[in-house]
């Protein structure tokens, strides 16, 4: 127990007292918009060490930053991660980047306190590791507060649930580390082309590839892509905001899916050479499904052109053995309809569902 523990109200006087304690190298229990936290200045290593000791936290587990604004958060997680976080700040989202996690709480008194302490505090939930988070000062005091230097009473935390935690991957996609109040779109596909389209649209999302079995109806391409898109989304049953898609090339009453190998890739290109085919994509979102089609005309391809394209792109993971967005000029003469549909994810349904505004 601290010999000089004080309990203060989360008002102006309490803010001054808590700031003086933290700036003097102390430890404080503070209210936030989610749950009560145990806080220390990040530039006071002895105080941060006390956080670990009081909470009985594994020293290998980092303690996140609460920042007063996105600019202060960026000092720890980098500009890219802070840019994603800022879309939801102030709020219950922690973003991880550059080996650090940070968020800006939706609690005015706490943000003012953080600003008075240099713009950032290390804050962990005010409970013993593995224990239940505290949603009021009495619970926090009973759990860990007696070992702190000051406890600020701000009433019951309005959120009551720990923040969502996401890591920003190198490719700009998000990885869910802890589920929480802030939800994101989940792309049920490992396609880098679909991910590129979403990133270019400014949408933040998780990627979770599913292994749902695929069906094929050679004389009914729309049914094929519809059922496959629905099945991929259904494989993540219970999730909200799941987007899934299936794309095929259709020509001569035949479905051209992904080729088995490079030899079959060349066969596909020979058969499509100099002709116009149709690209169908089925897109499913939270139980609804839409089908979009586009037309693509290939150049008349020589054997040398086919071999060059296959060597450059290695298109065994592309329907029809080609990618219009990667050296497509070598083989494509023209197209009609949606370019993004040919890539594998038309934008029109996303607008209809409100995913793109």
Residue pLDDT, tens place only, 200-259: 999 999 988 888 999 999 899 999 999 999 999 999 987 889 999 999 999 999 999 999
Contact 197, 245 (CB under 8 A): no
Nearest to 294 by CA among 320, 270, 315: 320
Residue pLDDT, tens place only, 138-152: 999 999 978 999 999
- In which band, very low, low, confident or very high, does the pLDDT at 1 lie, cut at 50, 70 and 90? very low
Q: With 0.85 as the threshold, say if the pTM is over it.
A: no
The CATH number that domain 6-165 falls under is 3.90.870.10
Q: 3-state DSSP call for residue 152?
A: strand
The DSSP element (H or E) to which 290 belongs, if any, is strand 288-298
Q: Which CATH class is domain 183-352?
A: alpha beta
User: What local confidence, expressed as pLDDT, does residue 297 receive?
Assistant: 98
Which of 22-26, 183-187, 226-230, 270-274 is the least confident region?
Answer: 183-187
Q: Token digits for 149? A: 């230097």
Say how far apart CA 205 and CA 55 lie, in whole Å. Answer: 33
Q: What is the DSSP letter of 200?
A: H
Output the average pLDDT for the chain: 94
Q: Note the helical H segments in the chain.
A: 12-23, 45-55, 70-77, 79-86, 108-116, 137-143, 192-200, 221-234, 262-272, 303-313, 339-343, 348-352
Beta-bridged to residue 245, according to DSSP, are: 283
User: What local confidence, expressed as pLDDT, does residue 239 receive?
Assistant: 80
Residue 336: how many other CB atoms lie within 10 Å: 12
User: What local confidence, expressed as pLDDT, does residue 34 receive?
Assistant: 95
Q: Which of 149, 204, 246, 323 is catalytic?
A: 246
User: What local confidence, expressed as pLDDT, does residue 211 receive?
Assistant: 87
Residue pLDDT, tens place only, 156-173: 999 888 899 999 877 667
Nearest to 281 by CA among 273, 292, 272: 292
Residue pLDDT, tens place only, 40-75: 999 999 999 999 999 999 999 999 999 999 999 999
Which burial class, exposed, middle or buried, applies to 130 when counting CB atoms under 10 A from its CB (0-12, 13-18, 19+)?
Answer: exposed
Q: Using the predicted structure, report yes or no on whether residue 93 has a pLDDT greater than 50.
A: yes
Is 246 noted as a catalytic residue in this protein?
A: yes
End-to-end distance of the chain based on CA atoms, in angstroms? 53
User: What local confidence, expressed as pLDDT, does residue 95 receive?
Assistant: 97
The residue ranges of every structural domain in the chain are 6-165, 183-352
User: What local confidence, expressed as pLDDT, does residue 303 receive?
Assistant: 97
């Amino acid at each position: 127990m601290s010999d000089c523990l004080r309990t203060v109200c989360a008002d102006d006087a309490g803010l001054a007292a808590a700031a003086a304690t933290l700036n003097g190298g102390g430890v404080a229990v503070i209210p936030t918009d989610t749950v009560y936290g145990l806080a220390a200045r990040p530039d006071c290593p002895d105080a941060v060490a006390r956080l670990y000791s009081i909470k009985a936290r594994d020293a290998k587990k980092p303690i996140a930053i609460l920042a007063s604004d996105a600019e202060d958060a960026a000092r720890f997680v980098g500009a890219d991660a802070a840019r994603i976080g800022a879309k939801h700040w102030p709020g219950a989202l922690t973003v991880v980047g550059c080996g650090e996690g940070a968020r800006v709480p939706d609690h005015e008194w706490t943000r003012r306190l953080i600003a008075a302490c240099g713009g950032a505090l290390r804050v962990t939930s005010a409970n013993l590791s593995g224990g239940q988070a505290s949603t009021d000062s009495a619970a926090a005091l009973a759990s860990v507060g007696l070992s702190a230097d000051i406890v600020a009473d701000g009433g019951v935390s309005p959120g009551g649930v720990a923040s969502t935690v996401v890591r920003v991957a190198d490719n700009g996609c998000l990885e869910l580390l802890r589920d929480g109040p802030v939800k994101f779109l989940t792309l049920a596909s490992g396609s880098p082309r679909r991910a590129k389209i979403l990133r270019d649209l400014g949408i933040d999302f998780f990627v979770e590839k599913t292994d749902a079995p695929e069906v094929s109806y050679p004389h009914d391409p729309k049914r094929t892509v519809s059922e496959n898109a629905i099945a991929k989304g259904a494989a993540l049953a219970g999730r909200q905001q799941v987007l899934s898609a299936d794309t095929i090339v259709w020509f001569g009453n035949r479905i051209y899916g992904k080729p088995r190998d490079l030899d079959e890739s060349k066969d596909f290109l020979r058969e499509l050479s100099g002709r116009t085919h149709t690209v169908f994509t089925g897109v499913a979102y939270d139980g609804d499904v839409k089908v979009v089609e586009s037309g693509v005309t290939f150049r008349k391809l020589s054997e040398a052109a086919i071999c060059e394209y296959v060597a450059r792109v290695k298109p065994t993971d592309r329907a029809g053995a080609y990618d219009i967005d990667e050296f497509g000029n070598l083989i494509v003469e023209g197209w009609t309809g949606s370019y993004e549909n040919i890539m594998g994810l038309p934008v029109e349904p996303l607008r209809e569902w409100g995913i793109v505004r």
